[in-house]
Amino acid sequence: MKKFFGTYPDVGKLMRITISHLGVILLLTGFAHAGEGYSQDLLNSTISLRLNNVTLREALQTFEQRTTLTFSYSQDFVQLDQK
């Protein structure tokens, strides 16, 4: 074995690099493996709200209180005080 590495000095370095890359690839593959998510199931539930003469802000607050969902939005695009 020592004779083999002595004949080809770059083989040992190449093997070390290859094994290092293989380890990194396996590690990242484990991180990237996606499991089954259940977050979308929350969106399939049904809720009934009767709201009259309320602003969009009040309607969203009522909706958030009755469910486990929260809304995120930019106030630049949504007029919350509009009825």
Residue 83 inside a domain? The answer is yes
Domain that holds residue 75: 51-83
C-alpha 60/C-alpha 4 separation (Å) is 72
**Lowest-confidence segment of 7-11, 19-23, 29-33, 67-71 by average pLDDT:** 7-11
Give the pLDDT score at 6: 56
In the chain, the number of structural domains is: 1
Sign of the alpha-carbon torsion through 48, 50, 53, 57: negative
Residue 63 inside a domain? The answer is yes
Residue 1 inside a domain? The answer is no
Over residues 52-68, the pLDDT tens digits come to 999 988 988 898 888 88
Residue 33 inside a domain? The answer is no
pLDDT category at 37 given cuts 50, 70, 90 is low
Average pLDDT, the chain: 78
Give the pLDDT score at 33: 74
Residue 46 inside a domain? The answer is no
| Predicted confidence (pLDDT) at residue 2 exceeds the cutoff of 60 | no
Residue 25 inside a domain? The answer is no
